[in-house]
């Protein structure tokens, strides 16, 4: 079933454009991941390119993946995110990740892929059909300018809408580190479902593993999300 966005998305699109315009932010969407890799390397040195979107590891093109960046009025990179279609081949996400979870490590050096583990959550058993993976979400750290002012809600929903318009997946999912999830990040960018302890990463030099949440939305969740006035969704904690 193809989802119809005309009624639900129009108010969101208009409001989000007004918010981005008022902040002087320009959005660019592309599918050349060699270009994206260069942007990240040169302009986002504090967070390396994630493996799921590394063009040297995966065949990424306009039919199966895209990236989105935001720039300030002076051209400074202030936001990134990316998404790609995932082929579950008739399996639930739980079965897919049992074999493939090592393809989604956090962007940190020293991750021990052999000792790290995946735990199936209720959502991973539920997610099947067509799916899109959502990652690379980053907002410039100048709090009070780009963080804590509602932009994450605009960026997150814009990315989700782009995924639905391109691929109409049954599900959208991503992984959020515990330290970020407990601050409400997943809810702010628009995820209605969060499940803890899905991926546990062992990192050299760290005493404790890095734990993550699974975040996901169904097609129906997104339809509901887009029907919520954006000004209600952009009230972020100080």
CATH code, domain carrying 99 = 3.40.630.30
Local confidence band at 22 (pLDDT 50, 70, 90 cut-offs) = confident
What pLDDT, on the 0 to 100 scale, is given for residue 43?
A: 97
121: alpha, beta or left, given left = phi > 0 and alpha = psi -120 to 50?
beta
* Domain assignment of residue 42, yes or no: yes
pTM of the predicted model as reported, rounded to 2 decimal places = 0.91
Provide the pLDDT confidence category of residue 141 given band limits of 50, 70 and 90.
confident
CA 222 to chain centre: 14
Residue 68 within a domain:
yes
Structural domain count of the chain: 1
Question: Does position 89 have pLDDT exceeding 70, yes or no?
Answer: yes
**3-state SS, residue 179:** helix
**Distance from C-alpha of 32 to C-alpha of 50, rounded to nearest angstrom:** 15
Residue 165 inside a domain? The answer is yes
User: What is the helix (H) or strand (E) element at residue 200, kind and residue range?
Assistant: strand 193-203
The pLDDT confidence band at residue 132, using thresholds 50, 70 and 90, is very high
Cα distances (Å, whole numbers) of residue 158 to 134, 163, 216: 12, 9, 15
- Longest Cα–Cα distance of the chain, Å, equals 51
- What is the pLDDT, as a whole number, of residue 143? 57
Instruction: Give domain status of residue 36, yes or no.
Output: yes
Distances in Å between the Cα of 81 and the Cα atoms of 38, 53, 65, 74, 108 are 14, 10, 11, 20, 17
In a domain, 1, yes or no: no
Structural domain boundaries enclosing 81? 6-233
Whether 238 is covered by a domain: the verdict is no
C-alpha torsion sign, points 61, 85, 192, 40: negative
């Amino acid at each position: 079933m193809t989802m119809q966005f005309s009624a639900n998305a129009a108010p969101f699109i208009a409001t989000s454009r007004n918010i981005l315009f008022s902040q002087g932010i320009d959005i660019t969407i592309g599918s050349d991941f060699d270009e994206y890799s260069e942007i990240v390397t040169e302009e986002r040195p504090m967070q390396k390119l994630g493996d799921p979107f590394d063009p040297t590891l995966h065949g990424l093109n306009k039919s199966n993946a895209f990236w989105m960046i935001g720039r300030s009025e002076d051209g400074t990179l202030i936001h990134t995110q990316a998404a790609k279609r995932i082929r579950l081949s008739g399996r639930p996400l739980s079965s897919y990740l049992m074999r493939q979870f090592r393809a989604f490590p956090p962007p940190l050096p020293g991750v021990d892929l052999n000792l790290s583990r995946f735990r199936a959550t209720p959502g991973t058993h539920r997610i099947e059909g067509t799916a899109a993976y959502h990652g690379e979400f980053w907002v410039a750290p100048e709090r009070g300018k780009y963080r804590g002012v509602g932009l994450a809600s605009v960026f997150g929903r814009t990315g989700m809408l782009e995924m639905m318009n391109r691929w109409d997946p049954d599900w959208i999912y991503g992984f959020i580190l515990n330290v970020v999830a407990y601050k409400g990040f997943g809810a702010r960018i628009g995820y209605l479902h969060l499940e803890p302890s899905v991926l546990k990463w062992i990192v050299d030099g760290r005493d404790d593993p890095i734990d993550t949440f699974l975040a996901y939305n169904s097609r129906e969740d997104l339809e509901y999300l887009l029907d919520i006035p954006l000004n209600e969704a952009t009230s972020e904690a100080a």
